Structure 1
């Protein structure tokens, strides 16, 4: 289910269908629902004192973060 807002009237609707055209735009999910970016993960790992490969991909960094944030 996605949430849409009308830019003109500020009305908000939820729909399983894609709403397009007119003044409707998709409301982006809140940041708390998103995973951190690669740069954010590197920063978080550095703050935790966790060593990582600077060329590591996001899944590896995310796994390291999830493992060490509990400590």
Structure 2
């Protein structure tokens, strides 16, 4: 038996906090994580658990947030 594929709506909103760019990641209208830039370093933050991950780029941060959210299904 195979699982049916689901399409999930993911959106990214760019904001600025304390003079630094922040990408907020939403599934539907629920904020699940952020990719924060500070001194040319990137940090992915999973909102429900406040887990933080050091990443090399904004793209890697986005992937990390989505993977961790899917893994733990908050």
When the two structures are superposed, what TM-score results if normalisation uses the length of structure 2? 0.34
| Structure number with larger C-alpha Rg | 1
Greater per-residue strand proportion = 2
When the two structures are superposed, what TM-score results if normalisation uses the length of structure 1? 0.35
